[in-house]
Amino acid sequence: MKNNNVKLVLSFLTGAAIGTGLGILFAPNKGSETREKIKLTVTDATHEISDRLKHAKEELTKTANEKKIAFEKKLDATLSNMSYKAEDIITSLEAKLEDLKKKNARLQK
C-alpha cells in the first residue's frame, strides 16, 4: 500500500515537473530567463523528490524493523512452545522406558 503511495507521489511530481518545464519553454520570455526558470524548477523538483525518497526510506526502515521485532517475538513463542512439548515427550518416553525395564526385569526372573 505504501509502495503504491510512493509511486503515485513520484508520478505526480514527475508530471508536474514536465508540465512546468513545457509551460516555461512555451512562455514568451527571454532565453536566459527561461533557462533560469527551468534551472529553478529542476532544482526544486530534485529537492522535493529527494525529500520524498528520504521519507519513504525512513518509513520502510521503520516498518521493516517493526515486522522484524514481531517475527522474533513469534519465533521465540513458537520455540518456547516446542521446547515444552519436547520436554513432555521426553518425560513420557522416560516413563515408558521405566515401565519396559520393570517388565523386562520381571521376565528375566
pLDDT tens, position by position, 55-71: 999 999 999 999 999 99
pTM > 0.75: no
Kindly state the DSSP code that residue 28 receives in the 8-state scheme.
S
Distance CA 70, CA 67 (A): 5
pLDDT digits (tens, 9 = 90+) for 75-85: 999 888 888 78
How many beta carbons lie within 10 A of that of residue 29, not counting itself?
Answer: 13
* Residue 16 lies in domain: 2-108
What's the number of domains the chain is made of?
Answer: 1
Residue among 49, 53, 52 at smallest CA distance from 41? 49
Distance CA 52, CA 47 (A): 9
